[in-house]
A and B are shown apart, each in its own frame.
Chain A
Amino acid sequence: MTFDVRLPIGLLFLVMGLLVAGAGLTGGPAVDRGGLNIDLIWGAGMAVFGAAMLLLAVVSR
């Protein structure tokens, strides 16, 4: 079975995104940038991207 590089990329982005989004949820005003909770928004985006990569890898396998 060949190694699918989407697996580690998906897993890394999922875990990293959740970590960053978690910091956004608990960070309070310190993570606010111009009215945006950048940690929460970008962290969630990274986690969704990671989940999509994982799903793609599993489906194509």
Chain B
Amino acid sequence: MKLGGVDWGVLGLYLVFVLGIGIVASRRAKSGSDFFLAGRSIPAWVAGLAFISANLGAQEVIGMGASGAKYGISTAHFYWIGAIPAMVFIGVFMMPFYYGSKVRSVPEYLRRRFDEKTRALNAVAFAIMTILSSGVSMYALAKLIQTLHVLDIPFERLGLPQAWIFHTAIGVSAVVVLVYIYLGGLRGAIYNEVLQFFLIVAGFAPLVWLGLKQVGGWPGLETTLGPSYTQAWHGMAHAATNRLGVDWFGLSMGLGFVLSFGYWCTDFLVVQRALAADSMTAARRTPLIAAGVKMFIPFIVILPGLIAIALTAAPDKAGATAHPTAAAGHVQQHDPGVIPIKIDAATGKPMLDAKGNPQLDYDLATPNLLLRYFPTGMLGVGLTALLASFMSGMAGNVTAFNTVFTYDIYQAYIRKDADDAHYLHVGRLATAFGIAASIAAAYVVGQFNNIQDFLQLTMAFVNAPVFATFLLGMFWKRTTGHGAFTGLAVGILTAAVHHGLTLPLDNIPGLKGGWITVVHTYPSEMAQNFWTAIWAWSACFVVTVAVSLVTKPSPEAQLAGLTYSLSPKISEAHGPWYGRPAVLGVVILAAVVVLNIIFR
């Protein structure tokens, strides 16, 4: 790939502005509250866009494009029955407890509602996950820059070895993120996340426009790809008749309820943005504003995948096929198209699936589309959008890590009674440590090609049961600390055992499951993930209730502001009726229903 002077100018301009925002934000990062929670002074619209942007990392931008190419518009279920209802729920029902109790982190809420051991379990698991996630983002960015040959020509001119490109990409991204978080704290991260959000839209929207123009618009995609790619609910009655390999119940409960609510309602990475809002009203509107925007994100991250597969092959004119990879792979042998065949790095030969058909490298769907359509100038904007998405994902993880490490690990177990300046200093050191650990994680990811699968799996184990703990903790005052901790532990164990006893079709026992013995085979890996979540959540819920009923609850005076029945009801009499969280929530849910009907 040859970048022109304008492309380098656009990329350089972005980096200058990102660092500049960090420097400006540093002038107001004078206390712990400033550094970790932006002084709780962020307006709702800024916090709302940061709420989305912190989640628009590598896994979303590249991963959703890949899923769009592999599964079609059904991928939008991750938004329209997954993220959006969960974001409405946290805005309407949960933010009053998070924001009203003045906690500084989600694990701190668990300590105040339950006990120290429940907080410790959540804090340690979360800290490890954020570092690994940040490392995966860093690795994916460096790998993409290497794969797209972005730096090949400059390195050649400078006489530097090509092997250094990977290290340079990791080093530059790490230093930029370190500088703006170290200086500006959460405020620096949030301001940059808003900038990054607009850049991501500016970089990917024209890609969809040009792509749709070439394939004949949405009707052209429908004609080329057929209903299993272009109808979100096509064949959802049975797992065997749709591309996801999941039935409607597994999808609605596993993804729509357990996993989505577990992530969007309890993950401190996103909740932290709402905690930084400047009032209770703004904190409640933050996830609602985010939901209002996020329902349209599939059109810029999933559609490129559909366009790429339409330009690669026409794999599905006849209807659903059980193995889209194989089907596309057959056509791929005749038409190289946009999505290349996946090559085994060790042997240099095409990678084959269980049936011996070549696999497509879906992760390159969006980047290759970008190279295909963007001339010099727009290419710089597109690459900047990719860079912005990777950086916002990294920064989101690091800001969440430095807060949880400082308040929930360092202050809780290492030094309890230091002054605010000391914790501010520790927060900055935790930022540097978080970046260094992310770099180490990025190199570990490169050494073990299955570590990303392992990370996703572990996150599913930990995230699935946690929503049951929060739901009971916030809405049933009888829930006890012993009940919550035991329920969480049993939930995680249930997830592991279920995974060990089941296996997706066409896989061998190991990291994909069945490592105890195979008692059930799922039609797809996604179905296995969703049902693992359902089992984990159910076990956590039942055990938490059972143990709570036989253990002593906390005195009611301690639970004021932490549970529904013991909290003052928020008056919504002031302000216009259409600005109330409940009204906004209903409007957003109605809009999502309309989207589901349009793309059914």
Interface residues of A (CB under 8 A from B): 2-3, 5, 8-9, 11-13, 15-16, 19-20, 22-24, 27, 30-34, 36, 38-39, 42-43, 46, 49
Contacts and interface: CB of A to CB of B under 8 A. Distances in A.
Contacts of A39: 375-378
Given A16-B381, A19-B9, A22-B6, A34 B375 contact: no
Interface of B: 4, 6, 9-10, 13-14, 17, 20-21, 24-25, 28, 41, 46, 191, 194-195, 198, 202, 206, 210, 213-214, 373-378, 380-381, 384
10 contacts: A3-B25, A5-B191, A8-B24, A8-B191, A9-B195, A22-B6, A31-B375, A36-B210, A42-B202, A42-B381
A11 B9 CA distance: 15
Interchain residue pairs A-B with the least CB separation, the first 6: A23-B377, A39-B377, A31-B375, A23-B6, A20-B377, A12-B17
A59 B512 CA distance: 57
A22 B378 CA distance: 11
A42 B377 CA distance: 10
B376 to A, nearest CB: 6
B206 to A, nearest CB: 5
Contacts of A20: 6, 10, 377-378, 380-381
Contacts of B25: 3
Contacts of B46: 5
Contact of B376 (A2, A11, A31): A31
A60 B17 CA distance: 22
A46 B6 CA distance: 15
B376 A30 contact: yes
Contacts of A11: 17
A36 to B, nearest CB: 8
Nearest to A5: B191
A24 B381 CA distance: 13
Contacts of B21: 5, 8
A20 B214 CA distance: 22
Nearest to B50: A5
Contact of A34 (B17, B214, B377): B214
A38 B375 contact: yes
A20 B375 CA distance: 10
Contacts of A24: 377
Nearest to B194: A5
B198 A27 contact: no
Given A23-B375, A30-B375, 18 more contacts: A3-B25, A3-B191, A8-B24, A8-B195, A16-B10, A16-B14, A16-B384, A19-B10, A19-B377, A24-B377, A31-B376, A31-B377, A33-B375, A34-B213, A38-B206, A38-B374, A39-B377, A46-B381
Nearest to B24: A3
Interface of B is mostly: helix
A25 to B, nearest CB: 10
Contacts of B378: 20, 31, 38-39, 42-43
Nearest to A42: B206
B373 A27 contact: no
A12 B14 CA distance: 7
B206 A12 contact: no
A38 to B, nearest CB: 6
Nearest to A41: B206
Which of B6, B46, B195, B380 counts the most A-chain CB atoms under 10 A from its CB?
B6
Contact of B210 (A27, A34, A49): A34
Contacts of B14: 12, 16
Contacts of A15: 13
Given A16-B10, A33-B375, A5 B195 contact: yes
Contacts of B4: 23
Nearest to A3: B24
Given A16-B10, A19-B9, A46-B202, A27 B377 contact: yes
Contacts of A30: 375-376
A8 B17 contact: yes
B561 to A, nearest CB: 29
Contacts of B195: 5, 8-9, 12
Contacts of A33: 210, 373, 375
Contacts of B13: 12, 15-16, 19
A30 B7 CA distance: 14
B226 to A, nearest CB: 24
A16 B438 CA distance: 31
A9 B28 contact: no
A61 to B, nearest CB: 14
Interface centre among B41, B210, B378 (most CB of A within 10 A): B378
A31 to B, nearest CB: 4
Nearest to B4: A23
A3 B381 contact: no
A11 to B, nearest CB: 8
A24 B384 CA distance: 18
A34 B28 CA distance: 49
